[in-house]
Chain A
Amino acid sequence: MTDWESLKDALAAEGYIAPADLTMALFIALKLSRPLLLEGAAGVGKTEVARTLAAVEKTRLIRLQCYEGLDAAHAIYEWNYQRQLLAIRAAAEGGETGRSVERRIFSEEFLLQRPLLQAIRQETPPVLLIDEIDRADEEFEAYLLEVLSDFQITVPELGTITATSIPRVILTSNGTRELSDALRRRCLYAHVDFPSRESELRILAARCPAVEPALAGQIVGFVQALRKEELEKTPGIAEMLDFAAALVGLGVNDLAADPRVLQATLVTLLKTEADRAAVSSEVAQRLAGRAA
């Protein structure tokens, strides 16, 4: 057995069933210490990869959730202004000189570390998850690029901070906008799809061992059929697991048995009103019948 296959098994042991190309991309990213960019629809388990990797490597997961308008103050560092102001006032009363106050309030003591700075200052390499990078604006992307290639951050008042350990970086993107070529070139890439029927069955078995094999087949068949319908929000893996948990909780062991129960548990899969309306009781029964 080769190294990358043992990574696959390690991920599986943590309950993450990864397709071959994702495992390989992850393996090479770890070996070459390069960031890995994961792209795919919402709900295919991109974020979960980072969580699982942190568990496999027994290290910390540091997460930076991107959003529009994310800036350096929230991603890298910020000074603790309230304390700084208090310190200045206190110093003025104690008769401390300007120079020494300045040196004191711009020291580590007053520095608030945000995810990127935290990540490069860990003793053991953490997993740094930069989630939904496509939501951040292009300026931030450019800055991130600099951090990811040099692994050092410059704080004007403190000087340059170099990484004590190189974090394992995973970026995810839902594709709401095109990422820059520079960022793509910097990263290794894997496209994550909705899992095949077999993979999804294995995921279900790993995550919800309580589900009977017959019911598991029905659940996965139903969700996979549902994904082919025209929905506003396609149910992801997390939704499928919620659905399974709901059915188990209700003591259902045949999906087609009671249309009312099925319709009620659909709240775990369908998250918009339009989708609820689109999947009427008849449609649900038809899909369940086919899945059985």
Chain B
Amino acid sequence: MSRITRFAARDPGPAARLAGFMAHLRDNGLRLGVSETETAMRALVEVTAADPREARLALKAVCTGSADEAARFDDLFDAYWRSDGRVRRKVVREEAAKERQHTRSSQAADGLRSESAGSAHGPDDGREDGETAAEGTGRLIASRVQNLMRQDLRELVAPEDVAAAERLARRLAAAIRDRRSRRRRAARAGEAIDFRRVVRRSLSTGGEPLHLPRRRRPDRSVRLTVLCDVSGSMTAYARVFLAFVAGLIRGEKTADAYLFHTRLVRITEALRDDDPLRALNRLTLISDGFGGGSKIAANLDRFARSYARRLVNARSVVIVMSDGYDTDPPEAMTAALRRLKRRGCRIVWLNPLAGWRGYAPVARGMAAAMPSLDLFAPANTLAALAALEPEFSRL
């Protein structure tokens, strides 16, 4: 019993404790409203609320809404209800809200999150930054690399950038979508007869269907998936690309995003956080190892085998943002992209170096990738990305 949290004597009662628990969950990023508190209360009435196991299971069913939340719930439950007999003072909602303003973008809320996002350290992370960066980016930006390498993502991406990128990302996504819908319209113009309207109209002509109104399929949006390389050689461009990724995720409900260096991390959930600043904080925490070596082929392969199986289909456009300087053998790159391509998606590769005059994709990894790509384009500033709109609409 000693494990159970003791509540302060002046605390008003079980209902307030539960409200405090809901606030605790909310502070930890679960999206819960007042109605959930009510539902939780009603759920606890149905079970033996004094039995910790039943209460835990009941609250879990009510309060969680995704696999990620379900996985974190047990820790959050323990932290609130079973904190080894420590006295919990702030159970009342107002106080919790006040506290939240302070912790909004700092440790308390994010500590737990980093735990669940977990284990970001690769064995060869970070330490060989200098080499890869110098080799990868060339003379032009070598001096900037030194400065940027130790910065974290918060300093790299400004909220204004995200807003600008959000607009841009929306435009690009729309460019692809519109193009697709026009094509469909031409190919399957009025593929089905709208019987409902036929019957309506034929009433006035004595049952003679003189007009045959037709229907066509509504426009279907494409699903954008972005894989952003944040290895050492890409550090200089991280600002642009991460802003773009953040904008894309925040602007497009169906978009999906990943970072990779030596490992692959899904960042969609983190970027969807209501608070843009907190989103970047979460991103910083989960992308530990940022600026390390690059294993492009291995990561693409991992992506194709894991997430892509669920999330990539024929309506997807996979955008890879990388300079193509890979430590894996080129054959691996070819194989990985082929595997990905089998999902039926289109693949776009945005390479910051391609913007340089006289650049040719001769890096071995890049050359191996070329045959599988639907579009290979330069991009190193937001403006350059914006200029891609016509290219995207041709996809």
Contact = CB atoms under 8 A, between A and B. Distances in A.
Interface of A: 2-4, 20-21, 24-25, 27-29, 31-32, 34, 36-37, 39-40, 68-69, 73, 79, 81, 84-85, 88-89, 91-92, 98, 101-102, 105, 137-139, 174-178, 180-181, 184-185, 187-191, 230, 232
A278 to B, nearest CB: 11
A92 B57 contact: no
Main SS of chain B's interface residues? helix
Contact of A230 (B48, B69, B196, B305): B305
B173 to A, nearest CB: 14
Nearest to B51: A2
Contact of A92 (B31, B64, B69, B207): B207
A163 to B, nearest CB: 20
A178 to B, nearest CB: 7
Which of B42, B67, B311 has most chain A Cβ within 10 Å?
B67
Given A21-B61, A25-B61, A32 B202 contact: no
Interface in B186-208: 195-196, 198-199, 202-204, 206-207
Interface residues of B, number: 46
Contact of A176 (B33, B35, B203, B310): B310
A24 B58 contact: yes
A3 B61 contact: no
Contacts of B309: 232
B58 A28 contact: yes
Contacts of A68: 220
Contacts of B295: none
Contacts of B220: 68, 137
20 contacts: A21-B70, A24-B54, A25-B61, A29-B61, A68-B220, A85-B199, A85-B202, A88-B202, A89-B207, A92-B207, A139-B218, A175-B67, A175-B311, A176-B310, A181-B65, A184-B65, A185-B36, A187-B65, A189-B64, A189-B65
Contact of A84 (B69, B199, B254): B199
A105 B62 contact: no
B65 A176 contact: no
Nearest to A5: B54
A81 B199 contact: yes
Contacts of A3: 46-47
B253 interface: yes
Contacts of B305: 230
B43 interface: yes
B55 to A, nearest CB: 10
Given A32-B39, A39-B66, A102 B203 contact: yes
Given A85-B209, A176-B313, A191 B70 contact: yes
A40 B67 CA distance: 8
Nearest to A105: B199
Contacts of A79: 195-196, 199
Contacts of B171: none
Contacts of B198: 81, 85
Contacts of A98: 203-204
Contacts of B64: 189, 191
A191 B209 contact: no
B338 interface: no
A180 to B, nearest CB: 8
Interface string B246-261: 0000000110000000
Given A39-B66, A81-B199, A88-B207, A24 B61 contact: yes
B41 to A, nearest CB: 11
Given A79-B199, A85-B199, A98-B203, A2 B48 contact: yes
B154 interface: no
A3 B57 CA distance: 14
B214 interface: no
A32 B43 contact: yes
Nearest to A36: B61
A32 B42 contact: yes
Interface string B294-311: 000000000001000111
A223 B58 CA distance: 31
The 7 A-B pairs of least Cβ separation, nearest first, read A88-B207, A25-B61, A24-B57, A184-B65, A81-B195, A89-B207, A92-B206
A88 B62 contact: no
Contacts of B207: 85, 88-89, 91-92
B35 to A, nearest CB: 8
Given A24-B54, A85-B199, A185 B65 contact: yes
B223 interface: yes
B199 A4 contact: no
A230 to B, nearest CB: 6
Given A138-B253, A178-B268, 15 more contacts: A2-B48, A3-B47, A31-B46, A32-B39, A73-B196, A84-B199, A85-B202, A85-B209, A89-B206, A91-B207, A102-B203, A174-B310, A175-B310, A177-B254, A185-B33
Nearest to A73: B196
